[in-house]
Structure 1
Amino acid sequence: MSGPQESTSFTALRGQLQEAAATFAGGPDALEGILLGMVDDVDRAVREPLEIFPVCHHSPASALAMARRLREKQPKVVYLELCEDMAPLLTELRNCRLPVAVQAFAGDVDGFPADWAPLSVVAPVTEASAEYQAIAYALDTPGVELVLVDRSSDHVFQWDRRAEHTQEEAAPPEDAEAALHGEAVGVEIGDLRPRFTELEEHLLRHGKVRHWSEWWHQYVEVPLGDSDHDTYRQVMFLIGSLFRRLAPGDGSRVKVDEDRERYMWTRMREHLAASGTDPSDCLYVCGAFHAASRVEEFGVHGSTDTFTISPRTATTWQYGLIPSSHAAIEAQFGLAAGSVSIAATEWAKSLKRTRVKPFRLEGQAGKKKSAKKTAVAALAPAPRSAVAADKLTGFLRRPPVLDTLDEAELLGWSVDIVRAARRNGYLASTADAIAVFETSILLAGMRDRAKPTPYDFQDAAVTCIEKDSVPGRRDVRRLVEIMMGGDRIGQVGYDSLPPLARDVYDRLAPLELKLEQRGVRRALLDMASRPELRACSDVLWMLRRLMPQGAARPIMGERRLGERSIQESWDLALGTHQRALIELGYEGVSLEQVLEQRLRREVYGAQATTATVLAAIEDATLYLNSRRLSDELGTHALKLLATERSVDGAPEVLRRVRALLAYYRTSEPVLPSWIESFVKTGYAHYCTLLPTAFRDEDATVGQVAAMLGFLFSMESLALSLGCDRTQLELAVAQSHPDEPSKTALLWAAQVQLGTLSRAELRARCDELLDNPLVVPAYPRYLSGFVHALEPVPGLADVVVEAVSNAFGRLPDTVLLPWLPLLITTLRSGASDLAPLLIREAGRIFPGRLAALDTWVPPWRIPQSDPFATARPKPAPDVRRGAALLTAHPSTCDAVAELLGYDGVWAQSEAPSPSGVGLLSTHSATCDAVVDLLGYDGVWAGTATGPNASGGAMLTAAHPATADALESLLAGG
């Protein structure tokens, strides 16, 4: 065992490697230097007084060797290669189901580029890992101290300034389970993989394997599974030295690696000096790549004044645990799919075979530490030998041990995979199980292996069962991964959740659902019979606003301004999206606080627009019911509106301000002051931009229509607040568009203002159709008329008439290419206007097909007075006007002076007809009265004869009626 007085001798190994180098290279060269340098690295690491324990991440062999060494050595201090600022979180692991990841999160950055935010660092922990064994031993053994010595989360990003993120950062995968870590930077103990591409390709080709995980399993995991402690350490030191010496010499990656090693040894020496601990009582757990370090600060006796740890930035970091999974670890660290699951299976098999008692945190996975485990942990350390022998020479010269075929295990695998395949739609049978069994043995023999590995079995199953199609959503390779252990997904316990997450679970407790479990849960909320569920509804709507899609999905019910559902149905998957819920807890202590912070961040951001602020106001009203926040955001919307110089957001502004106005008018006694100011400011603002928007080629017709819609729909409120309608009239008068669609829009605005009549608009449309030079552009005019329904919905009949004329008169060469444009215009820019057009067309066109042949459009019917022949226009009665002016001479003189008339007024000497004379003068009126009364009796009196009219006879018979009619016509 290594210690302060230990010495090792690798003289024989050096001699053999020197002879091999001379033989293969023909003389001393770089190969000899690399081989001898590897031996020097192993010798240096073994002789270090502070015992170094090299590991590889998620390696069952490393975990098994760690469990053995901890029980044998029982160190008092365990130095662990993990971000030093994550130490307080490790005690919370006992409340979780592994795998989980320790996370450092920073939403607001100070000292880093703003576009890096949010910053996140994760360190996954699985049960089949050496780091978990060290953590469990240190936390549950009295008198043992666990010290994390790697760079802090802040330094992870400080050192990434000069280069892109390294292999520790991988692009987020598309698979939901593999994306549990999101875009976080992953740090792990023992990133042991060749950084020399040609070396990895060489190892894979000569090892007859497909990927690195399979090579490691075959040539490192299996041989080291049952080796002693010294052999394990020296082999891992040798592999780490090999990969380090053959790594590319690029400055960025090498500097980061060396800085990490300097950082860790500096922290360990500081702790040793402060605590006075004997290095022989310590254990340093690190990746094998860093164990073979050549920096000057290496070892307890290394240089102490050559490295200075830089201070952290002012960024505030928050820490927590998030669920992880085997797929997430594989995706983030570039491992083969299923390799972590296979490692977990190998770990369980190794424990049964070797009967090593692993360390497990008390309470982990619902189990308590047994009395036997406590007794073993209290045993005295075993005596150590003075000299550690050279184990590398024997290990390298030993031929590979060919494991005997375990027919029972392979046969069980074959039967299980066929059963799983049949459940997933494959036509598999017993013959396929036999074929998989034999093919696995055949593939192992072709790859110089007596015992098929899980990877050999996987290839055989794909070959024999999948064939050429996949009937279900899982292929055979995925079925093998599930059979070998599956993608285990961890869970963070309630006690380890941040306050916000615990608050969410507590507030949703009345639903009586197990929301902490993975999968979808259906929640039914009947607020009419259970009013207490309204609070749950509020929480669910906020979760829908804040969390990723699928975490809280409404099936029935909606929440809009002024509307609340009395019954709702939800699909909830909070357990599946536990990571997102935990990260919400980093932003605040309650959902309301987080939502308010996000709304403020959106509103006051550099990319915020007026429409963005109005959307935030709507959300603040819907979810927070906060009048204070709405007023504050509304004031900010005024500032943004006044500074905008484009009309890009006009449609969204119009839609949202209309909805807010309708809500406030129905729910508030008076309008908020900010919205009144917004309407007043918007009226003047859009009037100013209107002429420019009509001429601007970048401004679409829909945006200009939205501006006019704002001006016309808000006109009454704006005028009541003191705006001047003349400003709008001048803006329309100054608009001179060149584009046909905008020209049609301008005509609609002129009709709304009264400067253009409907008859004139129809005449202009007819002129366009009569002009052969304009006919190809007529569809563009129609597109403008369709958008004009937004500001002037009363023109629906004119638009229907224009479209109908287009279908009737345009040639096919113009009409057919335009139809797709009309459809896309209605679907994209005017989807809410289509019902208006359809309703108007339904009113105008006949309801039955048979009536269409004889139907005449209303716009083709002559607009004449049907009573013009029966009822001629009566002459004006000047008598009443003369009498009125005579009675009021002063008014007459004032009107004459106003009109500039200074003539002499003459009086009429003709007596006014009265009685019979009046009726005789207006015989037609008398006849109309006779017809109205239906009089058809015999007329008596002097007015008889063939030429006597009905009116004369009626007057003679009824003189009193004649006098009443005279007084009526004469005005009394």
Structure 2
Amino acid sequence: MREQLTDAAAAFAGGPDALADILTGIVDDVDRALGERLEIFPVCHHSPASALAMVRRLRQKQPRVIYLELCEDLQPVLTELRNCRLPVAVQAFASELDGFPAAWAPLSVIAPVTEASAEYQAIAYALETPGVELVLVDRSTDHVFQWSPRDESPASEESTVDGSDDQAALHGDAVGVEIGDLRPRFAELEAYLLHHGKVRHWSEWWDSYVERPLATADHDTYRQVMVLIGSLFRRLRPSSSERTDRDEDRERYMWTRIRQHLAATGADPADCLYVCGAFHAASRVEQFGLDSPAPDFDITDRTATRWQYGLIPSSHSAIEAQFGLAPGSVSIAAATWNKAVSASGVTPYRLGGQRGATGRKRRGKPEAVPVGPVTDRLSGFLAAPPTPDGLDEAELRRWCVDIVRLARRNGYLASTADAIAVFETSILLAGLRNRARPTPYDFADAAVTCIEKDVVPGRRDVRRLCEILLGGDRIGQVGYDALPPLARDVLHRLEPLGLDLEKRTVQRALLDLQGSPELAGCSDLLWMLRHLLPPGAVRPIMGERRLGHRSIQESWDLAVGRHQRALIELGYEGVTVEQVLEQRLRRAAHGPEATAVSALAAVEDAITLLNSPRLVEELGARAVELLAGERTVDDAPEVLRRIRRLLAHHQATATGLPAWCEAFVTTGYAHYCTLLPTAFVDGETGVRQVGAMLGFLFSLESLALSLGCDRSQLELAVGQSHPEAPPKVALLWAAHHQLGMLPLAQLRQRCRQLLSNPLVVPAFPQYLSGFVHALEPVPGLTPFVVETMSTAFARLPDPVLLPWLPNLITALRAHGPELVPLLVREAGRTFPGTLSALDSWVPPWSGTAPAAAPVIGQRPVGQVHGLLAEYREPVDAVAALLGVEGGWQSPDDGVTDSGVLVQAHPGSAEAIARVLRLS
């Protein structure tokens, strides 16, 4: 073989050169791997040919020790595969890191397992055969991330899940670990192979040129071909790359672990089997082989990161997305595996009790193992023509009929003629690609050409329908006994609902909490799961949980089985859902990105979901600390909204405010007073934020003053504010009015001057925007804002009004959507309700209406007198405060102290009279 490759290289290149060294080096790699005392079994991940060869070799040799290329710390979890339905993935998970960058959290490593894989056959054989030891020898999951560069995401080391597909997202952003990553490491070689192989992607090339020829090959031929491919790809890859160094360190690691185990147990290498990827079987590291004089590889200690281990559901599409395989390739491999098992009569190994497996197993005496040097099988295998494999017309015909039927169900106008066209086109494509019979890939291409044409009527195209037809996207499931304690506790606590939550379907749960109080625990758990699980896992249809409110009837859509992975990973964080939720809330309040808003949100969640006063007090104190340390006011609107809601809740449900609430109000009052002058002049601080600051200061002023704050601090802050932007100027005027520094008449006069100045008129909508935001801190200005807007519409001519009207609408929509309803309601109270009354209507602010002035003896003012006389104690207090002297007189006198008050304060009487008229 070596001579033939040397002669071929010389003829190709015109003389011996680097190509000859590469080709002869491949033969040396094969000799080295197959001549090792410890039998090396090269495999490719999710390869039916590798799985068949593994089954045959295990039944022939029946080794007593199997060394498997898999993270060594995953071994205790493998026994739980009995309780699962394949495919599933073995997972290592860590949420609290020690020794790794905090930005990497959480860390996750997964190793998918399917029945049509050589590693599963080895695992099933070892676990089901007494006296057989399974030893995982690859680096630990901790070392996977130790060897990752610190300047990049750990997920970049292996292919990760795209996440665009629901099933592909089963693996999330976990780092994938596989056995036998046989794929060229540079694009030029892969493109060359695909072009000359007349295929579209790597999975199809591998299936056509490796899988099918090796499906019926004997053991020696299989080993030599796999090592040959591994050596070829290894020698043609770039030699100086970081990935190359990590691969070689992995090989040193595995051989070191093998030597240590043999030295510790005294096992005979003749009774052992080393299962690894074909890429690593052609290794050239100095530690390769049991007889190597090189010292053992120096294995570093693991970090203090605490890893959790378990199983998560997987699927064919998730594996394809994780490792960059073509869509449908794993499903086709599963179908090829089932067909090859039936045709060859080989009985595969299956774990007893595994869901979805028949548990078949055959035991007997081992067959004779060939003794002596390995003969050259490569020359004959590579030189011989492909084994004739005639067209299976029955199989192809069944595919064509089924794809037409499936296409019609999905809206395609397919007919029997299309089935015939697919049949003939499949044969034609196979002939053009030098294949003896059509492959599933040829059939899929023919179906797309003949049925789909250029229109996809539904959400599934024909290629996806072919994937479903040829095996579908099989989705695994982790059994109840293999779930972590938290997941089992969740399923147990939700049993009163009477639903099978392990199903992947969406199920509807109806809870009558008034008629069935025992379901209250289920309701509490569902609300916590809604907070912890991804959207769609538990979705409330009817009912809500907010501060001070609990629904008496609830309706839920539950898809817990579909989000089993997320539920399992919750089990890595704690024993109960309550514990995990408490940890999440603490992390949200104490994390590096925590703000006062996130802390207040955690407080609200702790009240509504956990009802834990101790945790609420802790998180509230953290919110006070975060508010005092903030240097911006970007979150002021959200802070105001949340603290108002929490204060109202505590005032309505408790005898007094908690200490943290009082501290938050006093701290916020001083904090916002300090930042107010800067916020007014800062161009990056929006008018919405400044309005929220003033809203906090004015709406909580009475509470803050009662807790010891000084009002002069607010007056000084407002006095030191000198904004230039029109919206903030309007906000400042509103603040002056609220503090009594700017009477309403002067404020009205300023607005009239703005409308009279043609240079300011284009910017008048910005002033209006500021006044609208002023309704948050000064809601009493609502009538004035309506008056100002109405005056502008009445006075400005159309050439001036129409250009800035869109600006006004845009400003109101962008900056004050929640405040516009206040204006609408006030306008509804001010303007007449009928069209006929509009002609005689006179604006109340015009001063020309005869009933506008409060005159003693008129009916509205009389109603004011009656109202005041009914509540004499408050009136006496107000009279004493205003300095009005005299006592109450009898009605016959005609004039009362209430009349004196009305005459002394006509503006207040006018407002009260207008309210009484509208009522």
> Do the two structures share a fold, i.e. TM-score over 0.5?
yes
Larger radius of gyration, structure 1 or 2? 1
1:226 correspondence with 2:216: yes
Task: Write the letter of the residue equivalent to 2:26.
Answer: M
With over 3 angstroms needed to count, the CA separation of the structure-2 counterparts of 1:741 and 1:870, relative to structure 1, is closer
State the distance in 1 between where 2:774 and 2:597 align: 22
Q: Quick one: which of 375, 384, 388 aligns to 2:370?
A: 384
Deviates more, 1:519-528 or 1:478-487: 519-528
State the distance in 2 between where 1:927 and 1:107 align: 80
Give 1:706 shift: 0.6
State the distance in 2 between where 1:716 and 1:98 align: 65
CA offset digits 1:880-933 (Å, max 9, x no partner): xxxxxxxxxxxxxxxxxxxxxxxxxxxxxxxxxxxxxxxxxxxxx9999xxxxx
Q: Percent identity?
A: 70
Task: Write the letter of the residue equivalent to 1:14.
Answer: R
CA offset digits 1:609-635 (Å, max 9, x no partner): 111111111111111111111111111
With over 3 angstroms needed to count, the CA separation of the structure-2 counterparts of 1:343 and 1:926, relative to structure 1, is closer
Which secondary structure does the structure 2 equivalent of 1:322 belong to? strand
- 2:766–2:808: 8 Å Cα contact kept in structure 1? no
Give 1:809 shift: 3.1
With over 3 angstroms needed to count, the CA separation of the structure-2 counterparts of 1:926 and 1:28, relative to structure 1, is closer
1:737 correspondence with 2:735: no
Give 1:812 shift: 4.8
1:217 correspondence with 2:207: yes
- How do 1:498-517 residues align onto structure 2 when only pairs under 5 Å count? 498-517=484-503
Give 1:279 shift: 0.3
Corresponding residue for residue 623 of structure 1:
609
Give 1:377 shift: 2.3
CA offset digits 1:368-399 (Å, max 9, x no partner): 634xx2xx324234243323221001001101
State the distance in 1 between where 2:491 and 2:894 align: 89
Corresponding residue for residue 54 of structure 2:
66
Corresponding residue for residue 457 of structure 1:
443
With over 3 angstroms needed to count, the CA separation of the structure-2 counterparts of 1:615 and 1:868, relative to structure 1, is closer
State the distance in 2 between where 1:829 and 1:409 align: 66
Task: Write the letter of the residue equivalent to 2:302.
Answer: R
Corresponding residue for residue 703 of structure 2:
717
Q: Quick one: which of 280, 291, 296 aligns to 1:301?
A: 291
CA offset digits 1:55-79 (Å, max 9, x no partner): 0000000000101110110000000
State the distance in 1 between where 2:34 and 2:290 align: 13
- 2:116–2:333: 8 Å Cα contact kept in structure 1? yes
Give 1:664 shift: 0.3
Corresponding residue for residue 603 of structure 1:
589
Give 1:414 shift: 0.2
Corresponding residue for residue 44 of structure 2:
56
Q: Quick one: which of 505, 528, 534 aligns to 1:519?
A: 505
- 1:167–1:333: 8 Å Cα contact kept in structure 2? no
- 2:159–2:324: 8 Å Cα contact kept in structure 1? no
Task: Write the letter of the residue equivalent to 2:159.
Answer: E
- 1:702–1:829: 8 Å Cα contact kept in structure 2? yes
Give 1:511 shift: 0.8
Corresponding residue for residue 23 of structure 1:
11
State the distance in 1 between where 2:724 and 2:790 align: 25
Which secondary structure does the structure 2 equivalent of 1:377 belong to? coil
Q: Quick one: which of 427, 432, 435 aligns to 2:418?
A: 432
Corresponding residue for residue 390 of structure 2:
404
User: Structure 2 length as normaliser, TM-score?
Assistant: 0.91
Q: Quick one: which of 83, 86, 90 aligns to 1:95?
A: 83
State the distance in 1 between where 2:599 and 2:216 align: 65
Which secondary structure does the structure 1 equivalent of 2:562 belong to? coil
- 1:50–1:279: 8 Å Cα contact kept in structure 2? yes
State the distance in 1 between where 2:168 and 2:804 align: 48
Give 1:192 shift: 0.5
With over 3 angstroms needed to count, the CA separation of the structure-2 counterparts of 1:866 and 1:478, relative to structure 1, is closer
Q: Quick one: which of 109, 122, 137 aligns to 2:110?
A: 122
Corresponding residue for residue 314 of structure 1:
304
Give 1:23 shift: 1.0
Corresponding residue for residue 838 of structure 1:
824
Q: Quick one: which of 549, 566, 588 aligns to 2:574?
A: 588
Give 1:402 shift: 3.6
Corresponding residue for residue 598 of structure 2:
612
Give 1:684 shift: 1.9
- 2:37–2:270: 8 Å Cα contact kept in structure 1? yes
State the distance in 2 between where 1:822 and 1:625 align: 45
With over 3 angstroms needed to count, the CA separation of the structure-2 counterparts of 1:755 and 1:22, relative to structure 1, is same
State the distance in 1 between where 2:894 and 2:386 align: 130
- 1:323–1:578: 8 Å Cα contact kept in structure 2? yes
Q: Superposition RMSD on alpha carbons, in Å? A: 2.0
Q: Quick one: which of 19, 24, 28 aligns to 1:40?
A: 28
Q: Quick one: which of 151, 165, 176 aligns to 2:139?
A: 151
Task: Write the letter of the residue equivalent to 1:649.
Answer: D
- How do 1:221-260 residues align onto structure 2 when only pairs under 5 Å count? 221-260=211-250
With over 3 angstroms needed to count, the CA separation of the structure-2 counterparts of 1:233 and 1:501, relative to structure 1, is same
CA offset digits 1:729-784 (Å, max 9, x no partner): 22222222111111111111222222222222111111110111211111110000
Corresponding residue for residue 81 of structure 1:
69
CA offset digits 1:419-446 (Å, max 9, x no partner): 0000000000111101110111111111
1:854 correspondence with 2:844: no
- 1:82–1:148: 8 Å Cα contact kept in structure 2? yes
State the distance in 2 between where 1:182 and 1:817 align: 52
State the distance in 1 between where 2:637 and 2:804 align: 24
Which secondary structure does the structure 1 equivalent of 2:422 belong to? helix
Which secondary structure does the structure 2 equivalent of 1:853 belong to? helix
Q: Quick one: which of 460, 469, 473 aligns to 1:474?
A: 460
1:699 correspondence with 2:689: no
Give 1:698 shift: 1.6
Task: Write the letter of the residue equivalent to 1:222.
Answer: R
Give 1:512 shift: 0.9
Q: How many residues align?
A: 860
Corresponding residue for residue 316 of structure 2:
326
State the distance in 2 between where 1:848 and 1:88 align: 80
Q: Quick one: which of 622, 646, 658 aligns to 1:672?
A: 658
Gaps in structure 2 of 5+ consecutive residues: 859-891, 896-919
State the distance in 1 between where 2:792 and 2:135 align: 82
State the distance in 1 between where 2:762 and 2:856 align: 47
Give 1:166 shift: 5.1
State the distance in 2 between where 1:819 and 1:621 align: 45
Deviates more, 1:153-162 or 1:498-507: 153-162
- How do 1:859-878 residues align onto structure 2 when only pairs under 5 Å count? 859-862=845-848
State the distance in 2 between where 1:286 and 1:817 align: 75
Task: Write the letter of the residue equivalent to 2:515.
Answer: S
- 1:163–1:252: 8 Å Cα contact kept in structure 2? no
- 1:620–1:626: 8 Å Cα contact kept in structure 2? yes
Corresponding residue for residue 884 of structure 2:
none
With over 3 angstroms needed to count, the CA separation of the structure-2 counterparts of 1:225 and 1:368, relative to structure 1, is closer
- 1:402–1:449: 8 Å Cα contact kept in structure 2? no
Task: Write the letter of the residue equivalent to 2:122.
Answer: A
Task: Write the letter of the residue equivalent to 1:540.
Answer: L
Corresponding residue for residue 485 of structure 1:
471
User: Structure 1 length as normaliser, TM-score?
Assistant: 0.86
- 2:723–2:729: 8 Å Cα contact kept in structure 1? yes
- 1:170–1:333: 8 Å Cα contact kept in structure 2? yes
CA offset digits 1:275-334 (Å, max 9, x no partner): 000000000000000001111100111234152111111111111100111001000101
State the distance in 1 between where 2:624 and 2:288 align: 62
Deviates more, 1:305-314 or 1:88-97: 305-314
Task: Write the letter of the residue equivalent to 1:136.
Answer: A
State the distance in 1 between where 2:810 and 2:576 align: 44
Corresponding residue for residue 271 of structure 2:
281
State the distance in 2 between where 1:692 and 1:665 align: 33
With over 3 angstroms needed to count, the CA separation of the structure-2 counterparts of 1:445 and 1:792, relative to structure 1, is same
State the distance in 2 between where 1:315 and 1:279 align: 35
CA offset digits 1:645-703 (Å, max 9, x no partner): 22111111100000000000111111101101211221222222222221221211111
Give 1:128 shift: 0.4
State the distance in 1 between where 2:894 and 2:344 align: 126
State the distance in 1 between where 2:150 and 2:713 align: 57
CA offset digits 1:242-263 (Å, max 9, x no partner): 0100011233011111001000
Task: Write the letter of the residue equivalent to 2:707.
Answer: L
- 2:161–2:174: 8 Å Cα contact kept in structure 1? no
Deviates more, 1:591-600 or 1:816-825: 816-825
With over 3 angstroms needed to count, the CA separation of the structure-2 counterparts of 1:615 and 1:67, relative to structure 1, is same
State the distance in 2 between where 1:417 and 1:853 align: 74
